[in-house]
Amino acid sequence: MMFKKVLIANRGEIAVRIIHACQEMGVSTVAVYSTADEKAPHVHLADESVCIGEPTPAESYLNMDKVLKAAKDTGADAIHPGYGFLSENADFARRCWEANMVFIGPPAEVITLMGDKIAAKKTMEKAHVPIIPGYHGDDQSLENFKAQAKKIGYPVIIKAAAGGGGKGMRIIREEEDMEESLESSKRESLSAFGNDTMFIEKYLEEPRHIEFQILADEQGHTIHLFERECSIQRRHQKIVEETPSVALTSELRAEMGKAAVQAAEAVKYTNAGTVEFMLSGSQYYFMEMNTRLQVEHPITEATTGIDLAKWQLRIASGEKLTLSQEDVHQRGHSIECRIYAEDPEKGFLPSTGVIQRMEVPQGVNIRHDTGIESGLEITPYYDPMLAKLIVYGESRDDAIGKMVWTLSNYVTMGVTTNVAFLKEVIAHPEFRKGNITTHFIDDYFQNWKHAEEIPVEAIMAASIYDLLHYTIQKERGGGEAHRDPYSPWKRSGKWRMGGE
């Protein structure tokens, strides 16, 4: 039976996305928010809202006790974790079930298994899903890591077993760099995740990041919804995604899709999830499994016509998948760009401030998922992603052209964003050709500078001058300007050729 009320344990655009899905299905929603998010769109869009604490995540969105209390007090019968925050926290999933609250996601045991990268890779190996050659054992000594690296062959990469987001990750090209790299990786991993267990793998020089969307019901039926290309990354974080990938033939796509289903079935996965691979040439390797809805899920929805958020709700409520693998088809091409409040010219440093104005171009097959609006303050407490811009085209060239146009007309004033940077990435000749790897940003956009040199202060000064000049003209009884305050012909400011 479908839920009556769902609490969304998240914020921003994903909270808005889930609220809309629930309300379209006739399900009541509860939003939780910190004091910093009191005026955020997800708060007033939900049917009910509960303040759960101070701005810091530990006092609000990561506080399990407060989230569960809000769910209980409002009579919610399920919790959707979105992504980030508590979405891949096995303890939270377990506590939801203990409180007789449905956790909209996989079982806690699956989250635990897939959250341990070493255990996950061992499981995939047993399920005959290809994994990158490496060492995932218990011997964490320097001597063993040197021996394993020699056996694998340099270059190698060290990764944190409990981590993600590039933390604890080091590329090692020569044995003499192993000791320092291993020690610094362990320190960083222990600080970030409370665990300094590492593993080592062969480093792929020119890989592509390909992931497959999975849906699995509680009756054992699992399908994939094809791939997403996620190779355009900065600091190991995706910023541009597209589907389908130009790197996959129909045969390779079918083979990787089958492997993704095998991976999900091997751990008895349920709900929506993503199996991530690294692709080198025509050889693919399992990397990890994300046990939640992905940021980039809209491009899969665009090309398949399947609403993933709604299927999450249906599966969690016990419904069977009515889709077979043969029912799922791709059509056209979709691209997503992540709009961040950050400065690409300063190493993607996050930007804060008040959104003074936001304008998003309207058009056929343009989707804008956001949790912000004009007047909202962007604080330093949360991830700086402001929105996701998604376009769909009949072909890849069509989608690229639409995205370039949309970014060219996208306006956000008040904070620095990566919009201009994204436009140059999408318009780059090598991107247009499909020649992309996870090193694309490093290869082509090191020390990037905005091509436009006119500072915003100059534009504002010219605007003020124009306004003052017009006001003086009006006060002096300036002919037509007096009778028609909107006439452009009597306004000779900086915006008119031949003006002062």
* Contact (Cβ atoms closer than 8 angstroms) between residue 25 and residue 317: no
What are the helix (H) ranges across 212-350? 250-266, 297-304, 308-316
Q: Which H or E run contains 331?
A: none
- Angle 142-152/178-193 helices, nearest 10 degrees? 110
CB atoms within 10 A of CB 62: 17
Element (H, E) at 276: strand 271-280
Distance CA 449, CA 345 (A): 6
In 3D space, the residue among 241, 170, 164 whose CA is nearest the CA of residue 440 turns out to be: 241
Q: What is the dihedral of CA 246, 247, 253, 256, to 10 degrees?
A: -140
Looking only at the bridges linking them, the beta strands covering 411-413 and 357-359 are antiparallel
The closest alpha carbon to 18, from 79, 90, 61, 72, belongs to 79
SS3 content of the chain, % helix, strand, coil (to 5): 40, 25, 40
- Strands 208-216, 198-202: pairing is unpaired
**Of the residues 11, 228, 234, 292, which is catalytic?**
292
As a whole number of angstroms, the distance between CA 253 and CA 260 comes to: 10
State the DSSP string of 198-252: EEEEEPPSS-EEEEEEEEE-TTS-EEEEEEEEEEEEETTEEEEEEES-TT--HHH
DSSP H or E stretch at residue 43:
helix 41-45
Query: Is residue 292 among the annotated active site residues?
Result: yes
Cβ distance 228 to 296 under 8 Å? yes
Rg (CA), the chain: 25
**Residues contacting residue 317 through CB under 8 Å, at least 6 positions apart:** 1, 2, 3, 78, 102
What token pair was written down for 66? Answer: 């407060």
Let me know the angle formed at the C-alpha of 59 by 56 and 61, rounded to the nearest 5 degrees. Answer: 80
Q: d(Cα 306, Cα 394) in Å, to the nearest integer?
A: 17
Catalytic residues, by residue number, are: 292
